[in-house]
Amino acid sequence: MTIYKKSGTSRRYRTGLTAALLAGSALVMAAPAQAATSPRPRVIHTIPSDRIGGLPIKSLDGMTEYIPQAPAHSHAAQARTAAHPAHTAGNIWAGGATGYDISWPQCPAHNPVLPPDSDVAVVGVNDGSPFTALPCIEQQLAWSPNGTHAQYMVLDSPIGYSSAHVLQYAYHGPAGDCTATDYYCQAFNWGWNAATYAVQAATSAGATGKTWFLDVELPSSGSINPPGANCYAANFWTCDTKVNSTIVLAAVASLKAQQETVGIYSTQSQWGAITNGLKLGLPIWIAGWSHPAATYCDPAAASSYWFADGKPWLVQSVPTMYDPDTAC
C-alpha cells in the first residue's frame, strides 16, 4: 500500500491541488497503524445543542469517545412529525421523508439491532475519526435496502499531533511535503487525504450512495482552541478559522474530484466558530433538536439556522436509540 506523496514540490496547497486534479487523484490509502495494546477510551455522553454536535466522534488520539444522547425531558417525536417540511430543490430525498443515521455506536459490539428499513439511510463510514474504517461497514452499508443512501465522514484538525498517521497523512499529499509549522500545508493534505481514504473504504465495502456529508462539529465546548499561545495545540479544531476552513475546502475538493455530491453537517453556531461562516453553497444537514424539522427547513428561518450559504437537505432530530432524520 502506498500513500499520495510528492517530493520536491511546492508546499503551496493551490499548486498541489491543481497537480492532483490533473493527475486524477489516483490514490491508494494505507490504514493507520494501530498500537498492539491501548487503554480503554473514556466515554463521554453529551447533550446535543446548537453549540455541541450530534454525531458520535472520537478524539484523534483515540483516548476519548463522545456519544450524543437525548436530554431526559426531550420529546423526540415532535421534532419529526409536527409539520410537513418545505422541500429543497435538488434534494435526493423527497420532502418529509424520514429515516436514520448510524455509525460505530450501532455496530454489533455496541448495539446488535439496526434501525428499521427507511427512506433516509445515512451511514458514517469512520470509526469515529479520520483515517479509520467503521468496523461493521459492510453490514451498515447493506442496511435499509429500500432507502436512498448517503454517507458521512468525520473531519477534524491534525495540527499539534505527532502520531504516525498524522505525520503520514498531514505532512504528505497534494500540497507537498510540510514542515511542522506549515499549518496550511498540513491542513490541505489532511482534508484531501481524509476524503480520499473515506471514499475508498466505503467503495470497497459496497457503498452505492454518491452523496457525502462532512461532519464538521464541536463534540464539547472545549473542542476548539482559544486564541493565544495554545491556538495550534492538539485538539479537534484550532482557533485559526482559516486553517480549519482549509481542511474543509480540501475535503470538498477531494470529494468533487471523485465525482461525489458534497454536503455539510453542522449547526450555524458550530460552523461559525470553526470556519467563521465559510460560504460554500453546498447542501446542508442541520443538527436541529429544539424545534420540529419543518422549522429548520423553512426558508423564513434561514437567517437563524442555515449555514455555509447552503440549503437544507436533512434535519437531524433528538437522538433516542438511533438518530432520526427528516428530509427537507
CATH topology of domain 13-327: TIM Barrel (3.20.20)
Burial class (CB in 10 A: 0-12, 13-18, 19+), 89: exposed
pLDDT of residue 38: 62
Mean pLDDT of 29-47: 63
Q: Does residue 51 or residue 215 have the better pLDDT?
A: 215
**Tens digit of each residue's pLDDT (9 = 90 or more) over 238-251:** 999 999 999 999 99
Q: What does the DSSP 8-state code read for residue 3?
A: -
**Tens digit of each residue's pLDDT (9 = 90 or more) over 299-319:** 999 999 999 999 999 999 977
Mean pLDDT of 1-12: 39
Q: Give Cα separations from 256 to 11, 204, 260 (angstroms).
A: 22, 18, 5
> 170: which 3 cell numbers?
498531514
User: How far does the chain reach from its first CA to its final CA, in angstroms?
Assistant: 41
State the pLDDT confidence band at 83, using cuts at 50, 70 and 90.
Answer: low
**In angstroms, rounded to a whole number, what is the distance separating the alpha carbons of residues 118 and 173?**
38
pLDDT of residue 26: 39
**Tens digit of each residue's pLDDT (9 = 90 or more) over 180-212:** 999 999 999 999 999 999 999 999 999 999 999
**In angstroms, rounded to a whole number, what is the distance separating the alpha carbons of residues 153 and 115?**
20
pLDDT at 76 over 50: no
**In angstroms, rounded to a whole number, what is the distance separating the alpha carbons of residues 300 and 158?**
37
pLDDT at 53 over 80: no
Radius of gyration of the chain (CA): 19
